[in-house]
Amino acid sequence: MTKVGLHIRIISPSKIEYDAQADMVLLPGEDGEFGILVKHMNMTARLNEGVVKIHTSGKMHNIDIKGGIVSMYEGHKIDILLG
């Protein structure tokens, strides 16, 4: 059985900055940091300047952002749109 992880894309106005699978992501929301796992409900939220923390197979990748919008859909897809 294949494990389904999150598919995370970070998209700037000029290109796709990041496109990979992950187990979890932590995001700098307007009301504080929040996390998203597989099968999270569909949602859209604004992001503040801060760090996107992407957890994959026990490793963490940190990506600094200046703010943007995150959209979670289909139970495993996350698009982070940067301004």
3-state percent breakdown (helix, strand, coil) of the chain, nearest 5: 0, 65, 35
In a domain, residue 66? The reply is yes
pLDDT at 10: 98
pLDDT at 4: 72
Query: 54: domain range?
Result: 6-82
Report pTM: 0.91
pLDDT at 3: 65
In a domain, residue 50? The reply is yes
pLDDT at 1: 44
* Total domains present in the chain: 1
In a domain, residue 1? The reply is no
- Tell me the pLDDT of the chain (83 aa) as tens digits: 456 799 999 999 999 999 999 999 999 999 999 999 999 999 999 999 999 999 998 899 999 999 999 999 999 999 999 98
Report the CATH number at residue 20.
2.60.15.10
